[in-house]
Structure 1
């Protein structure tokens, strides 16, 4: 599993992707989602150390979604410095590193692309039919359906995101433009 580390946003933690689950687990071990059977199919194992004094490292075991090189696997910093975004075969988890029992599993299964947008302080998650944006305070917005099967971001500039979505009826790529503040389609 080729895993990516992306620290575009400043973060209050350090992460190390482990090649396998350690034989001896650390005292703090969290499984995402909780008590899930999917972990038996495979998992992304991430050792996380926070900048908070007196806290010990924890192991984040993130259930693997798909074993396909098309879907991302890795760790991204998030707009909120306390949050860590772990993606395991397209399954996406936002983990509060100051309280690792608090997490959000994104509804897109799979996420096909993760794109940081520093100017807007957003982490974008592209799925088959739409885009979800994560900001400093959590989910910022989610688009309506942009495509019947496959969303492509072509550019991001001036607070606007331009992309293409495939239309089943016309069998063509249809362009769209989104306002990055609201997620609303402007064209």
Structure 2
């Protein structure tokens, strides 16, 4: 597993501490993501989260680990919605509402290979093996059509466009693509 990332690019109303292990004494508020899952036994990202909500006690977030591979990300990212926190544990990504931690979304990529904030567009991008998903303040903004047969690389973001490469099985070559960041549609 890679070293955990703590990225606060977007403004946010919470603080997260990445713990090296689950506390011996659990706080009164403890949430497991996803709920009631056996994957936690394989390992988990343990986070102590404090919010700016008046009177809110800190909570422990236990995020089930996807893969123990250094190529997949692990860590915490701020999200376009200041109340939301993105926790990624070995490529499994969870968007957690820190004001109501029982509300969360587990992203469909297994695994997420890269997390990239694009503040100017208000998007948190999740790169999978074949597609990219964009998360906005109101939730999923878009998901691309298939960009690659195996492996997507973002090469740059410029204004309203994202450039990248996707591997094409038929030609056995990296094929460039350009996306419109507002819609996720392929421009070229």
If the length of structure 2 is used for normalisation, what is the TM-score?
0.99
Match of 1:165? 166
Aligned to 1:34: 35
SS of residue matched to 1:178: strand
Q: Return the alpha-carbon distance in structure 1 between the equivalents of residues 35 and 159 of structure 2.
A: 40
| Aligned counterpart, 1:57 | 58
Quick one: distance in 2 between partners of 1:154 and 1:14? 30
> CA RMSD for the aligned pairs?
0.5
Look up the SS of the partner of 1:109 in the other structure. Answer: coil
* 1:48-82 deviation line (CA, Å, top 9, x unaligned): 00000111000000000000000000000000000
Matched, 1:134 2:135: yes
**For 2:60 and 2:159, how far apart are their aligned partners in 1?**
39
Distance in 2, matches of 1:84 and 1:154, equals: 25
CA–CA distance in structure 1, aligned partners of residues 156 and 79 of structure 2:
21
- Equivalent positions of 1:87-102 (< 5 A) are 87-102=88-103
Corresponding residue SS for 1:124: strand
Quote the Cα distance in structure 1 between the aligned partners of 2:37 and 2:170: 38
Question: Which portions of structure 1, spanning 4 or more consecutive aligned residues, are displaced by more than 4 angstroms?
Answer: none
**Please, which runs of 5 or more residues in structure 2 have no aligned partner?**
none
Offset, 1:133: 0.2
1:20 shift after superposition: 0.2
Determine the C-alpha separation between the residues in 2 that align with 1:52 and 1:99. Answer: 10
Question: Cα offset for 1:158?
Answer: 1.5
Q: Secondary structure at the match of 2:41?
A: helix
- 1:83: which partner in 2? 84
